[in-house]
Structure 1
Amino acid sequence: MSVANRVRVEDVVTLSDDWYVLKKTRFSFLRSDGTWQTQSRETYDRGDGATILLYDVTRRTVVLVRQFRYPAFVNGHDDLLIEAPAGLLDERDPAKAIRDEVQEETGFHVGDVQRIFDAFMSPGSVTERLHFFVAPYRSDDRRSDGGGAVEEGEDIEVLEPTIETALAWIAEGRVRDGKTIMLLQYAALNIFGNRK
């Protein structure tokens, strides 16, 4: 049986439509024991996104960014957040969106990107599906300083650590962003492996 046959939406109220859309939905769900249970959930819809890890196997480096994230700050993270470049699709193809975003944030121009998987990052409340990519880069692929879009409040620093340093940053608590941890671990297992 499709999950769609187990859900009956009864009421949807928009709580906020400012930055993104926050809705409260009352629905009935057909439980495994055959009974219907009424539930209520809030969902935050910001659209789908994409993220990428640029890597250089020869120099064993990756490209990350550092920027201010207010939600992390109010939850006790008193530092800039180290992340893989990412952005919303805004109705673009995921591969095109991430090539545009990585150039805006880091200044690196990339051609072909490899999609490795997609994931719901916080499925209990956020509707976003995040598309994950990797791509090789070289130093001479950098066309500008990057830094992000000032009009969007971005003030981005570009980092180029070795894969070993980036993995150590996870253990030290310097990298706390879920998508970045996933990409770095993917790279350690599937791109860099035992190449030393």
Structure 2
Amino acid sequence: MGIRIKEVKTLSDDWYLLRKTTFDYRRRDGRWQTMSRETYDRGHGAVILLYHPLRRTVILVRQFRFPAYGYGGTHDGFLLEAPAGLLDQATPEQRIRAEVEEETGYRVGAVRKVFEAFMSPGSVTERLHFFVAEYDDAQRAGHGGGVADEGEDIEVVELGIDEAMAHIAAGRIEDGKTIMLLQHARLVLFGEAGPGR
């Protein structure tokens, strides 16, 4: 397999970077085929699920997301999510520690990376680093809520893991990264072999 880049055009460099790339792709049968793809580059990010192994609870945040709201108004735009943020020149661990405190008010101790994933590789270059960390009430250093100057208006929500899984089934949790972390929590963190049992 091979790739030969022929042309790269910048379509937008406002909020993040949108490019159109024309390239030759060598197919498995050896033939070359010319293709064009648009890619949206917003950098890489990190996401974390806080969990309490004895109470069997997790911390999520609810915030407004305009792309979910869209232009037709068919969704209210409010999503329940695991705290997350772009790396912005920090390491994934540094960024997620700062982000979780900004959004939830919890100052966590050890964070553990569980995996990485491309969330929308057909068009978005972002790779997410997924973390988990235990929390307890003594770690609450503030109210959270995000950074108002950045337009954040975040509600902190504590749910039992069974309730969170029911929210997924009922369509009340629709964020992909959050569903992935909740599935991990249900199977590993709160599963038969996990610390919550």
Report TM bin, short chain: over 0.9
Q: 2:44 aligns with which of 8, 32, 48?
A: 48
Cα shift at 1:79:
4.3
Query: Structure 2 length as normaliser, TM-score?
Result: 0.95
User: What displacement does 1:77 show?
Assistant: 2.0
Measure how far apart 1:151 and its partner are: 1.3
In the other structure, the counterpart of 1:37 is 33
The residue matched to 1:124 in structure 2 has which SS? coil
Q: Secondary structure at the match of 1:47?
A: coil
Pick one of 3, 14, 18 that aligns with 1:7: 3
CA–CA distance in 2 between the matches of 1:69 and 1:10? Answer: 36
The 1-side partners of 2:149 and 2:124 are apart by: 25
Q: For 1:74-116, what per-residue CA distance to the aligned partner results, in whole angstroms no more than 9, with x for missing partners?
A: 1732241000000000011101100000000000001210000
- Looking at structure 2, the residues matched to 69 and 170 of structure 1 have their Cα atoms a distance apart, in angstroms, of 18
Which residue is 1:16 aligned to? 12
For residue 121 of structure 1, the aligned residue among 119, 122, 125 is: 119
Structure 1: how far apart are the matches of 2:76 and 2:32?
A: 45
Q: Distance in 2 between matches of 1:97 and 1:78?
A: 29
Q: Contact 2:104/2:146 (CA < 8 Å) preserved in 1?
A: yes
Please state if 1:68 is matched with 2:43: no
**Partners of 1:153 and 1:40 in 2: CA distance:** 35
**1:69-108 alignment runs, 5 A limit:** 69-74=65-70, 76-108=74-106
* SS of residue paired to 1:175: coil
Paired AA for residue 185 in structure 1: Q
Structure 2 gaps, min length 5? none
2-structure distance, mates of 1:35, 1:137: 54
How big is the alpha-carbon RMSD for the aligned residues of Structure 1 and Structure 2? 1.1
Task: Measure, in 1, the Cα distance between the counterparts of 2:119 and 2:78.
Answer: 20
Distance across 1 between alignment mates of 2:13 and 2:148: 23
Corresponding residue for residue 178 of structure 1: 176
Q: What's the TM-score, normalizing by structure 1?
A: 0.95
CA distance in 2, matches of 1:77, 1:51: 23
CA contact (8 A) 2:49 2:181 kept: yes
Q: Secondary structure at the match of 1:14?
A: strand
- Number of the residue aligned with 1:141: 139
Structure 1 residues not aligned, in runs of 5+: none
Which deviations, in whole Å up to 9, do the C-alpha atoms of 1:132-184 show, x marking residues without a partner?
Answer: 00000001111100000111111000000001111110001000000000000
4+ runs of 1 displaced by more than 2 Å? none
Aligned length: 192
**For 2:160 and 2:53, how far apart are their aligned partners in 1?**
10
> Share of identical aligned residues, percent?
62
Letter in 2 for 1:61: T
